[in-house]
Amino acid sequence: MSTPVTTIPNIGPAFERDLARAGIHSAEELRALGPDTAYGRMIAAGVRPHFIGYYVLVMALQGRPWNDCKGAEKAALRVRFDALKATHDDTDLRHLEAVLDAIGVVTPDRLARR
């Protein structure tokens, strides 16, 4: 039997939906993945990355209140978040390229390849 992710403090229904979108359906699975892998999967699944959501997840998995993150710890989490985002998030760029392609706009990199 699996435990709902919402049994973890700070994880509500909206976050539960985002986790499910990333294929994470239980508290056990979320804990086993850890915050970085889980959040990376969320970004890869199309969830728009947001720093507050990331550090809420980190705090939740540590059993701490969401607003307990401050100072140097918060700055260090920001560095981790930015790295995750850079590694996983090119959704906006892919969308822009698809729209430009659909309307027939040629991007500079395509001109260079001609």
Phi, psi angles (nearest 5°) of residue 70 = -145, 165
Per-residue confidence (pLDDT) for residue 99, from 0 to 100: 73
**Domains in the chain: how many in total?**
1
Per-residue confidence (pLDDT) for residue 108, from 0 to 100: 59
The answer to pTM > 0.95 is no
Per-residue confidence (pLDDT) for residue 80, from 0 to 100: 94
Per-residue confidence (pLDDT) for residue 107, from 0 to 100: 59
Per-residue confidence (pLDDT) for residue 56, from 0 to 100: 94
Question: Residue 51 sits in a domain of what CATH number?
Answer: 1.10.150.20
**Which of 95, 91, 35 is closest to 66 using CA atoms?**
35
Which positions of the chain have pLDDT values less than 70?
A: 89-98, 106-114
Q: What is the extent of the structural domain holding 82?
A: 5-113
